[in-house]
Structure 1
Amino acid sequence: MTRTRTVTVAPGVDLWTEERGAADAPPLLLIMGAQASGLGWTEELTDALAARHRVIRYDHRDAGRSPWTFDEQPYSIPDLADDALAVLDAYGAERAHIVGLSLGGMLAQLLLADHPDRILSATLMGTCALSQKPLVEPDGTEIAAADLPGVAPHVLEMWALPVEDHGLEAELDRRVEHWRVLSGDELPFHADEMRERERLIIEHAGRYDVSTAHGRADYSGMDRTEELARNTVPVLVTDASAEPVFPPPHPRHIAHVIGNARLVAMPGMGHALPREHLGRLAEAILEHTAAATAAPAAS
């Protein structure tokens, strides 16, 4: 059963939220990336997780059906982490599992560092570590955090292109091409499927223009090097071989600098949720959350 409601996170800012699954199941919060609607979490993956969890997904401020208010009420990226906590509060979730993708993975790290008592487990996907500690490879080689590879040049070129209004179908064309580039070139890209997903997201939002708020928000004050090193909450990090935004070895760096973190390989996966890996992702996340839930009970 799917239920929706709005959650107030600031004066005049009511976020769209949705929950599905048994009301008494362990809560699991899905945190999407920049400018992305909560509907970016595919129905297949959301339903698979809802078989064992009360799954909550939501639209950030300036995304999806939530209000677009940045120009009148500017905020920082850490404020978006506070929003995630407010969503958990509204649903009465004292502790929850969290899954974050891209910017959502950064917000998940802020929650791990600042509110570990609220987190049962975390899964981080397609993101970078909020840590200045170097990556130490198995052979002892050190790679400074600042020297890890950046966004692939062809992705930066795409992001530099102006987004112009040429109508709904042209915007769908642009979004499909955007996801084609982000998906990498190691797995088949299902353009028709992605187009339909984006059409549903546009219908959900009631608009097809694109906000730039999350790119303009303040990213300062996000370093959590020491707090993440002390982390004891179980953390799962997806190691996507075709990731073009935070390419390898970023996943290994995350798993190295965050305490109690481990990797799970996702061969061929890029900066998206490919059909070919949805079952594997759901299985990995559910195994991770089950182990995290059982550990406190066992102790």
Structure 2
Amino acid sequence: MTETMVAAGPLRLWTERTGDPGDPAVLLIMGASAQGFTCPDALVGRLVDRGVQVIRYDHRDTGLSSVVDFDRHPYGLSDLAADALAILDAYGLSSAHIAGVSMGGMIAQWLGVHAPDRVRSLTLLSTTPMGARPGDLPPPDDRFLKHLAATAGTRPGVESDVALFRVMNGDVRPFDEPACRAMLERCWARAVDPSAAAHHGPACQRDSPDLHAPLSTITAPTTIVHGDQDPVVTLAHGEALAAAVPHAELRVVPGMGHVYCSSGLPELLAGLIRL
């Protein structure tokens, strides 16, 4: 396992590679405001056991990566996709298997549409069609929205994040609070500027024509993985994505919510990632 800071234009992005550099690569792209370490270690380890090297990284404005003055230099999904390509370039990878979670799944779609030669396969987890407009698909469920309303103004930190992750986990699969808390403590301890991660909200809302390119142009073998208890991006989003991407395989995980904080779930997901 090696850690490397990678240049992406004027930015520097923290990356970590696990596994044999000679093996095919999986690039893991996490969701909004999420550091690379929000991808469970167990998922990374199981993927390496399947014979690939795994690269995970901190998005700009998270973890150890560069902090951006968003007011002066706003960015959107295509800029975050360019960061992913810069990482592939830095590691000398002409292509990789791409696995994206939530916002990372939209970044992965962008790569599948606009940089198909860099994509060996796509695994789109807990995400929604790139370019979907508000109202196109169902909103988050009431429990999640009520939690956000009830905790508005709460001081950010590990405890508030644990409470949020508990809700996002859903009520069916047991919530592994000790593992989740350890992961969040790790992330908070290493964040250069924890408040900067909030820039991902407006970044996701920035519209541009490239986001509306037809998903039917994706040629990479694609698997869509979605939980049937996702309170944030409901299953209808995964179903719509499966209908839009040619020959996509939809794998519905019973009881899974929007985060992967249940014992055994990371290993299960590692087995579903397309290689």
Q: Scaled by the length of structure 1, what TM-score is found?
A: 0.84
- 1:205 equivalent in alignment to 2:191: yes
| Aligned pair partner of 1:175 in 132, 138, 161 | 161
Q: Return the offset for 1:149.
A: 1.0
- 1:159 equivalent in alignment to 2:148: yes
CA distance in 2, matches of 1:244, 1:70: 31
Correspondence for 1:91 = 91
Q: Scaled by the length of structure 2, what TM-score is found?
A: 0.91
Aligned residues: 269
Correspondence for 1:59 = 58
Correspondence for 2:180 = 194
Consecutive aligned runs of 4 or more in structure 1 exceeding 4 Å deviation? 144-147, 206-210
SS of 1:46's equivalent in the other structure is: helix
Q: Return the offset for 1:74.
A: 2.1
Aligned 8 A contact 1:28 1:54 in 2: yes
Q: Return the offset for 1:208.
A: 5.2
Counting only pairs closer than 5 Å after superposition, residues 60-139 of structure 1 correspond to structure 2 as 60-71=59-70, 72-130=72-130
- 1:149 equivalent in alignment to 2:135: no
SS of 1:127's equivalent in the other structure is: coil
Give the counterpart letter for 1:106 in structure 2. Answer: M
Aligned 8 A contact 1:110 1:224 in 2: no
Correspondence for 1:39 = 37
Correspondence for 1:29 = 27
Larger radius of gyration, structure 1 or 2?
1
The range that moved more, 121-130 or 47-56, is 47-56
Correspondence for 2:18 = 20
In structure 2, relative to structure 1, the CA distance for the partners of 1:233 and 1:149 (3 Å cut) is same
Aligned 8 A contact 2:28 2:98 in 1: yes
Deviations 1:51-102 (A, max 9, x none): 2111111000111111221335321221001111111111111010010000
Give the counterpart letter for 2:35 in structure 1. Answer: S
Correspondence for 1:223 = 211
In structure 2, relative to structure 1, the CA distance for the partners of 1:192 and 1:238 (3 Å cut) is same
Aligned 8 A contact 2:13 2:66 in 1: yes
| Aligned pair partner of 1:272 in 248, 259, 262 | 259
Q: Structure 1 vs Structure 2: percent identity of aligned residues?
A: 35
Q: Return the offset for 1:193.
A: 1.8
In structure 2, relative to structure 1, the CA distance for the partners of 1:102 and 1:283 (3 Å cut) is same
Aligned 8 A contact 1:113 1:224 in 2: no
| Aligned pair partner of 2:245 in 258, 267, 274 | 258
In structure 2, relative to structure 1, the CA distance for the partners of 1:192 and 1:210 (3 Å cut) is farther
Q: Return the offset for 1:151.
A: 1.4
Q: Which runs of 5+ in 1 are unaligned?
A: 133-143, 290-299
Q: Return the offset for 1:157.
A: 3.5
**Alignment RMSD (CA, Å):** 2.0
In structure 2, relative to structure 1, the CA distance for the partners of 1:237 and 1:75 (3 Å cut) is same
Give the counterpart letter for 1:277 in structure 2. Answer: L
In structure 2, relative to structure 1, the CA distance for the partners of 1:191 and 1:35 (3 Å cut) is same
SS of 1:249's equivalent in the other structure is: helix
Q: Return the offset for 1:214.
A: 0.6
In structure 2, relative to structure 1, the CA distance for the partners of 1:69 and 1:163 (3 Å cut) is farther
In structure 2, relative to structure 1, the CA distance for the partners of 1:259 and 1:70 (3 Å cut) is farther
